[in-house]
Amino acid sequence: MQHVTLNNGVEMPILGFGVYQIPAEDTERAVSEALAAGYRLLDTAASYGNEEAVGRAIRNSGVPRESLFVTTKLYVQDAPAEENTVRAFETSLRKLGLDHVDLYLMHQPYGDVYGQWRAMEALNREGRAKAIGVANFYPDRLLDLIINNEITPAVNQIETHPFFQRADYQELMRAHDVRIQSWGGFAEGRNDLFTNPLLAGIGKEHGKSVAQVVLRWLTQRDVVAIPKSVRAERMAENLDIFDFELTDDQMASIATLDTGASLFFDHHDPEIVAWLAGRRLDS
């Protein structure tokens, strides 16, 4: 497994396993199979409702804790944000059954972002969150956070796939030493990704699937990827991407698929802002 080094020296696998939209009742089995396949980066969130199942899979796996990289995420907190952030973090630790996480992300750029970030900085200094970062932050919000706070986010997890490639934003993040991580790397199959003629043709040249081509394209761009699957054979296939390399011409051809727009939702849309910022989780 290849690793990337975050801006505080923490090493993170470049390929991991995500559990978004896996029902809680299926998550323990899926994570157990992912760990058996060789995944060591696990990505969950308080809002996914499956942290406890991830924790059970970790405990039953026999994989040493120090070999794992566990990410979870903070959802939008009511005031007082600093106090509630710590409470939310401790709830996530309890559900996971861990004494620390390797990466703690602010899931949405809403609410008292500064209060939440100050609490996350304290958790990082205490060593309970080995690295901290954000998710779904657009350039203006990310730069504002960097400029006005002490700790620069180690990671920004954003929608990144062949139809929304974020290349310019990746360069801006690189300039500020923020690692880009992809969510929705397969675009959830939208735009007929898995039958796309260009991607399928590249896959045929290498004897690989479209999914493997996409994951190789992401990791070859130094984008951390967290594909999800509930099928053990697909989990193994998604890991099998480090024995081939896309050519410069192939990378350039994939670049032509970029539409420059989200396939899911726009964080600048007032209706989306109202929905995400107004949503609250049961503890």
- Give residue 132's Cα distance to chain centre: 12
Query: How confident is the model at residue 79, as a pLDDT?
Result: 85
C-alpha distances (whole Å) from 233 to each of 60, 62, 152, 195 are: 21, 21, 38, 19
In the chain, where are the structural domains located?
3-278
- The DSSP bridge partners found for residue 3 are 13
Q: Which amino acid is at 34?
A: A
Residues serving a catalytic function are 48
CATH superfamily label, 3-278: NADP-dependent oxidoreductase domain (3.20.20.100)
Q: What's the predicted TM-score (pTM) here?
A: 0.97
pLDDT along the chain (283 residues), means of 10: 97 98 95 98 97 98 97 93 96 98 97 96 98 98 97 98 98 98 97 98 98 98 97 97 98 98 93 89 72
